[in-house]
Chain A
Amino acid sequence: MGPLSTTAFVIIGAVKVIVIFTLWLLAVAGVTLAERKVAAWIQDRSGPNRVGPWGVLQPIADGLKNFVKEETRPADSSRLLFMLAPMMSMFPAFVVFAVIPIAAPLTTPWGTVNIIIADLPVGFLFILALASLGVYGLVLGGWASNSKYPFLGGVRASAQMISYEVALGLSLVPILMLSGNVSLPEIVSQQQETLWFVLPLMVGYLFFTVAYFAETNRPPFDMPEAESELVYGFHTEYSAMKFAIFMMAEYSNMIVASALMATFFFGGWDIPFWVGDNMRVAAGGVVVGAAPAWWITLLTAASFALKTGFFVLLFIWVRWTIPRFRYDQVMSLGWKVMIPALIAYIVVLGVAMLLLEASGVQVDTTYMLWLTGLNLIGVLVIIFWLDRKRVIVGSGWKQFRPQETR
């Protein structure tokens, strides 16, 4: 099977865009429902259960409600920017998905199709660039509202997202070092051939998770919205569909974050312990490795969806567990903890990789296992450093309660 002809490329590309975009919008709707359901279950409630069986049609009802509600705009707000802000917020959140590989390549009568909308050579740099654009929506929304709390929310959003973008970028450097590539399909295929990067880059994964939680403005880092402090921050003044678009952007970002965690660290669409799906599209549309088949594509897509769903659940679970940070804590975590720790981690990892290469270990599973050992030590160091003496002593707050604290 050779490469696609230009016509086939355009048509198949359009089909991929439509199919993936539709599925993704459905996923966003599903996640809004999942958030409410999981929140309810965690709090021993039932959650939405009126619209359709188990409330599955709730997102449609929400959407309809938002379409027919009154749109309000504060007096003296900047009309253009006020309209632009939700768009600026949604656009990057939805475009990022184009570079994430979703399933194993598929052979069609017209050639081999990569199940990814755009296999950009810049790979995850594109994601970082667009994730940075996302902050414009928040800042513009806060600024254009001509209102105190949204403005504070916008200011917080800009400071927080810029801080955590540095950490986010740094936490992806280890991936770049290990895979030597920014292309996401390439990263996935390397994980298939060796180990999932969560093992050799465990510390990087932890930092990536924290940084992306902050980047998506999800609790415990939801400083820009902070309903108890800023009355929902940057989208206080938004109503109806504009508000819904902000929400869609947030949930979309959450799915992107989950998909990226799955892709970077958990093998993307790889099915673990099975070599039948270890394939990749080499130059000229030739599939290297296992033979592609439509059922492998479906299975791998399911695997990808499962992993992404797990991380979405993690996002929701964390949101309904952990209270919000204080703003200065967010900032000091970003600048004083994450960035220095990540730089140190990159240095240590680089030295380890150089040493391994100098001692003649090939970049294969053994190499990865060595790095895994190193990372386990790193994780232990981080736990001990965060917890200082308490790991051994125990949480033991109670025993100090009667006298010492009064």
Chain B
Amino acid sequence: MAIGVKTVERPEGGASYLRATLKGMALTFKHLVTPITVSQQYPEEKWELAPRMRGTHRMAVHEDGRAKCVACGLCPTICPANCIKLIPAEDENGERYAAVYEIDEFRCIFCGYCQEVCPVEAIHLGVHYEAAEFSRERFVYDLERLCDQDHAFTQLWDPEDPLSE
């Protein structure tokens, strides 16, 4: 072994590569003829998502289509990733509403604090993961877009068992 190859001492009667090869061929042949696949045909078949799966956001709306958000400012305060931009305003009745409400889904870490802290149950995470877009700008969801989402709200806890007992 002029090029310094380390020769491993195999125990006497040890590994037989002829048998191992034949065994391997038999194994692959068995898999070849067994008609099972573990593939999921993705766009047609999808995962059944857990109700607590935390995906892209969704804003709850009133029956007349207004966002439930009262622009209290708790969610941008608690957000650890600092991804929520909120500019509050007041309408003629003196009710606060969000003039600008944007969530940068790239920055978001999907911790769910915004949903937890929201006093009016307006902002929610959603059971949703197919968030692909053609440009980076599209990942900043504005208020209109957040209201338009129609996937399920994430349940941060099981309503039957809120303390996970």
Contact = CB atoms under 8 A, between A and B. Distances in A.
Interface stretch (B27-35, B68-76, B80-88, B137-145): B27-35
Interface string A13-56: 00000000000000000000000001011111110010000000
A196 to B, nearest CB: 22
Contact of B16 (A38, A46, A387): A387
A41 B24 CA distance: 15
A395 B12 contact: no
Given A321-B28, A322-B21, A45 B14 contact: no
Interface stretch (A64-72, A108-116, A396-404): A396-404
B20 interface: yes
A198 B34 CA distance: 30
A46 B32 contact: no
Interface residues of A, number: 29
Given A44-B36, A45-B37, A46-B37, A390 B14 contact: yes
Contact of A395 (B5, B19, B31): B19
B11 interface: yes
B163 interface: no
B38 A44 contact: yes
A400 B14 contact: yes
B13 interface: yes
A386 B16 CA distance: 9
B49 interface: no
Given A41-B31, A44-B31, A328-B5, A396 B25 contact: no
A43 B31 contact: yes
A393 B18 CA distance: 13
Nearest to A393: B13
Interface of B: 3, 5, 11-21, 23-25, 27-29, 31-32, 34, 36-39, 41
Interface of A: 38, 40-46, 49, 317-318, 320-322, 328, 383, 386-387, 389-391, 393-397, 400, 404-405
